[in-house]
Each structure stands twice: as structure tokens, then as C-alpha cells.
Amino acid sequence: MAAAQVVRSEWTKIRSVASTVWTLSLAVVVTLALGMLISALSKNEFDKMSRKDQLSFDPTFISFAGMSLGQLAMIVFGVLVVSNEYSTGMIRTSLAAVPQRGTFLFSKIGVATGLCLVVGLVTSFVAFFLGQAMLGEHRAHIGDEGVLRAVIGGGLYMTLIAMFSMGVAVMLRSPMLSLGILMPFFFLISNILGNVSATKKIGRYLPDQAGSKIMQVVTPIDDDTPYGPWGGLAIMVLWVAAAIAGGYLLLKKRDA
């Protein structure tokens, strides 16, 4: 089967499965709603903040507060896109139709990534403008230094989270096992390692912590992170590349 036909086939699969459409929609709604809420609360609390917190106040980053939950839906989307076929047994039919496993995998990931990028960028820009509207006099403007980079970075971050989840799901094949590892990894282990002083230096190299740096415009006063926004994104890209490479190697090696 030609690569273009495989891409079309993968696009049909994604849009015909209700759960994948719903998870992307949920990512948008949760990110926007929570971002607006936290931006509004931050505006009300600004005058009560310490001088140090006021100097570290990052209105752009605050408008992305909803991404902490929005990424949950992106993880679920990434897992479902890949592992749906394993849980239904359709993977055997798909691999029989497309024996070139690299073509099959990269077409699937490519289509899903393109969709995530569009959704992620739209969500990021809307979250920024809604968040700034809530912040009032404390708002940032899209033309301010570093803001456009951070807003585009928000869309890239959401896309990379989904891609990393796809890579892990290809390796594990089971949606329950994939989610059972990814959820605690991002929402428990990463937070613990990032907030405990003894392990902070390890935590900052995890994909979510490194990648989220791209969304920061104001560097916190006591921040000693040894990389900047683009360095953090590069670390996240390496994690994603490793996950997808691992998935590809295992897919080539084993039976469906």
C-alpha cells in the first residue's frame, strides 16, 4: 500500500473513533477553563503576594495553568490512537494490509501528531488571550519579549506529550498498562522528584519539567535550572525520540 493511502487510512481511523475525538475536545476545554480560573484567582491575589512572588509573576505562564490537566487528555489520546488496534485485535489486519511496519507506525504517529499540533496551537493561543483578559492590569501582550515563543511553545509541548505517550503505547501495546505507567509518571513521580530538594536536579530533566520551560517568560528569582526554554524543549524532544524509536524497534521485532 502506498504511503499516501496509509496516511489516509490512519486519518479515517482516528476521526471515526469517538473516544479519540472526545479526549482531544476534553484537552481543549480543560486547558481553557482551568487557565481562565487560575488567571482570575491570580489577579485577585496579586496584591497579597510577597515582593519576591510579584517579581517572579509570569502572566503568560499562568494562562497555561490548565495544561497540567489538559496534558492528561493528550496522554489518553496518544495512548488510544496507538493501542486501540491492539485491544480490538485490528492490529493483525492493519499489519497484513501494510507489511512495512515503519510505514504503518510513522503514518499513524504522523497523522496523530499533525492533529495534536493544530489542536495544541489553537488551544495555546486561545488560553493565552483568555488568561490575559482575566488578569486585567497584570496582563502580558503577545508582542512582549518571549511571549510569542511561549505561546507557540505551549502548542508544541502538548503535541510532544501526546507523541511521547504514543511511543510508550507502541512499546507496551496495552492501553491500561500504558496509562497505568504514564499517569503516575507525569502526575506523581515527576512532581515528587521536581519538588524534593534532594531530587530536584534529576526531576528537571524529565520530559514534562524540561518541556514546560518553553512556556516560561519570566524566570523565577531562585531558579538555577542549567538550560533555557529551547534547551528544555530539546530535552523533551530527546525523550520523545527515544520513546518512538523504542516503539519502532519492538514493533519490527515481535509478532502482532
Tell me the pLDDT tens digit for each residue of 238-253.
999 999 999 999 988 8
Own/partner pairs, 99-105, CB within 8 angstroms, 24+ separation: 101/248, 101/251, 101/252, 102/248, 102/252, 103/1, 103/3, 103/6, 104/6, 105/170, 105/247, 105/248, 105/251
53 has pLDDT over 60: yes
66 has pLDDT over 70: yes
> What percentage of the chain exceeds 90 in pLDDT?
65
Query: Do the Cβ atoms of 237 and 160 come closer than 8 Å?
Result: yes
- Average pLDDT, rounded, for the chain: 91
**What pLDDT was estimated at residue 256?**
54
**What pLDDT was estimated at residue 39?**
96
Torsion region of 173: left, alpha or beta (phi above 0 gives left; psi -120 to 50 gives alpha): left
Query: Do the Cβ atoms of 16 and 88 come closer than 8 Å?
Result: no
Distance CA 18, CA 171 (A): 24
Distance CA 123, CA 217 (A): 18
**What pLDDT was estimated at residue 1?**
57
**What pLDDT was estimated at residue 230?**
97
87 has pLDDT over 90: no
Model confidence over 143-178: pLDDT tens digits?
999 999 999 999 999 999 999 999 999 999 889 999
pLDDT band at 8 (very low <50, low <70, confident <90, very high): confident
14 has pLDDT over 90: no
Mean pLDDT value of segment 120-140: 96
Mean pLDDT value of segment 86-111: 81
Cell representation of residue 134: 482575566
What burial class does residue 61 get, using C-beta atoms within 10 Å of its C-beta: 0-12 exposed, 13-18 middle, 19+ buried?
buried
Which stretches of 200-239 are assigned E, i.e. beta strand?
A: none
The total domain count for the chain is 1
Q: Which domain holds residue 54?
A: 3-253
**What pLDDT was estimated at residue 97?**
76
**What pLDDT was estimated at residue 15?**
81
Mean pLDDT value of segment 112-123: 96
Closest CA to 90 of 12, 195, 186: 12
Cell 480543560 maps to which residue?
30
Torsion region of 26: left, alpha or beta (phi above 0 gives left; psi -120 to 50 gives alpha): alpha
**What pLDDT was estimated at residue 37?**
96
Distance CA 208, CA 188 (A): 12
**What pLDDT was estimated at residue 243?**
97
Mean pLDDT value of segment 62-69: 94
Q: Which residues contact residue 252 at a Cβ distance below 8 angstroms, ignoring those fewer than 6 apart?
A: 101, 102
**What pLDDT was estimated at residue 12?**
82
Q: Which residues contact residue 118 at a Cβ distance below 8 angstroms, ignoring those fewer than 6 apart?
A: none
Mean pLDDT value of segment 16-25: 85
